[in-house]
Amino acid sequence: MATNQNSGGVRISVRGLRKSYGGHPVLKGLDFEVAPGEIFVVMGPSGSGKSVLLKHIIGLESPDEGEIFVNGDPVHGTQITDKYRMAMVFQSGALLNSLTVGENVGLYLSEHRLESEENIQRIVAEKLDLVGLSNLQHRTPSELSGGMKKRVALARALAVEPQLILYDEPTAELDPLSAITIGEEIYNLGQRIHVTSMVVTHDRDLAFGVADRIAIMFDGEILLVGSPEEIRQSTHPAIREFTTANFNLNKTSKAP
């Protein structure tokens, strides 16, 4: 069980991380550190390996080479989730469809018997309020829209009171206003409980809005890590193209 003396954000160190699937390299040697309490954004196009990276950090996948440490403890080979409280907000939400929204949010607390049934009810209501979904406890996930599912998933992660929280594309599929709410919540959470946050996204607005530091990832490699300002001023052509791309459609039809 997660011990409370380990409160506050954790430090993440990634060393020489490599992973291939079926001979196809997806992560090609990643090295970086995330400081306790930092909001670290990994930005890159689809298919660059961002989700795979997050799964390695929380121990769902094991690396072919390299290691990941949480406060100096290796993630692989130990039961890291026993020692530190971590949470991941999955891209699709990954809510348990057989449970109600409220049961989903309270699942960590009820399965590990950390709180009384009454307290769990209270915490669930509080976390749902926080993501703007009051009084949805008794709905089932199948009754919710994609964006609502994602916010429930965020509430479920918050109920863990995590020391590390991983977000996989938290604003994808959200309308611009909900996206801003989520962005604010990510930022405020970092301020409020000094959780270490790692956000994976291709949403530039979110990245530049919440990040302490940004890593630019292309095709399984990190090209650059720096403050939002440093990223903006980068002269690397691929990075410039990605960070300044605009919605100017090429409207000349190529069809005959």
Ligand X SMILES: Nc1ncnc2c1ncn2[C@@H]1O[C@H](COP(=O)(O)OP(=O)(O)O)[C@@H](O)[C@H]1O
Q: Name the residues that contact ligand X, by CB under 6 A.
A: 21, 26, 44, 46-52
Q: Return the number of other C-beta atoms located less than 10 Å from residue 65's C-beta.
A: 12
Q: Which of residues 140-169 bind other proteins (CB under 8 A)?
A: 160
Residue 87 binds which entry of Mg ion, other proteins, ligand X, none, CB below 5-8 Å type-dependent: other proteins
Residue 21 binds which entry of Mg ion, ligand X, other proteins, none, CB below 5-8 Å type-dependent: ligand X
If binding means CB under 8 A, how many residues of this protein chain bind other proteins? Answer: 23
Q: Which of residues 106-135 bind Mg ion (CB under 5 A)?
A: none
- Asked if 98 touches other proteins (CB under 8 A), the answer is yes
Distances (CA, A) of 145 to 121, 173, 236: 23, 10, 39
Q: State how far the Cα of 57 lies from the Cα of 198, in Å rounded to an integer.
A: 10
Query: DSSP letter at 59?
Result: T
Where does this chain touch other proteins (CB under 8 A) — which range of 103-111, 182-190, 210-218, 244-252?
103-111
Residue identified by tokens 């990510």 is: 186
For the window 34-53, what string marks contact with Mg ion as x by the rule CB under 5 A? -----------------x--
CA angle, corner 237, sides to 233 and 238, nearest 5? 105
Q: How are strands ordered across the β-sheet holding 24-34?
A: 24-34, 12-21, 65-70, 73-74
Nearest distance, CB of residue 26 and ligand X, angstroms: 4
Residue 108 binds which entry of Mg ion, ligand X, other proteins, none, CB below 5-8 Å type-dependent: other proteins
DSSP string, 26-47: EEEEEEEEE-TT-EEEEE--TT
The alpha carbon dihedral of 55, 53, 2, 137 has a sign of negative
Nearest distance, CB of residue 77 and ligand X, angstroms: 21
Q: Return the number of other C-beta atoms located less than 10 Å from residue 117's C-beta.
A: 11
For the window 52-91, what string marks contact with other proteins as x by the rule CB under 8 A? ---x--xxx------------------x-xx---xxx-x-
Binding residues for other proteins, per CB under 8 A?
2, 55, 58-60, 79, 81-82, 86-88, 90, 92, 94-98, 107-108, 111-112, 160
Binding residues for Mg ion, per CB under 5 A?
51
